[in-house]
Amino acid sequence: MKKNIGTVDKSIRVLAAIVIAILYFTNVISGTLAIILGIIAIALIITSLLSFCAAYVPLKVSTVKKETK
């Protein structure tokens, strides 16, 4: 797996997961919506930890900064 998630992308993913967690624990979201968003939040955390997003592969997207020589 080649890394395709950059630092800014990771930060946005983690921030979104934190917002979802806060909404859940303050009972703003519940039921089916909470379950769906919880799964999305877990996926966001995992992809940010791995620095790899499978959805980016077929789209040939990479947010990793290219090294300059």
Q: Give pLDDT, residue 67.
A: 73
Structure tokens at 24: 């859940």
| Per-residue confidence (pLDDT) for residue 69, from 0 to 100 | 65
pLDDT at residue number 28: 97
pLDDT tens-place values along the chain, 69 residues long:
889 999 999 999 999 999 999 999 999 999 999 999 999 999 999 999 999 999 999 999 999 988 766
Rg value, the chain, Cα: 14
Per-residue pLDDT at 68: 66
Where in the chain are the domains? 7-59
Identify the helix (H) or strand (E) that includes residue 46: helix 31-50
Alpha-carbon distance of 56 to 62, in angstroms, equals 7
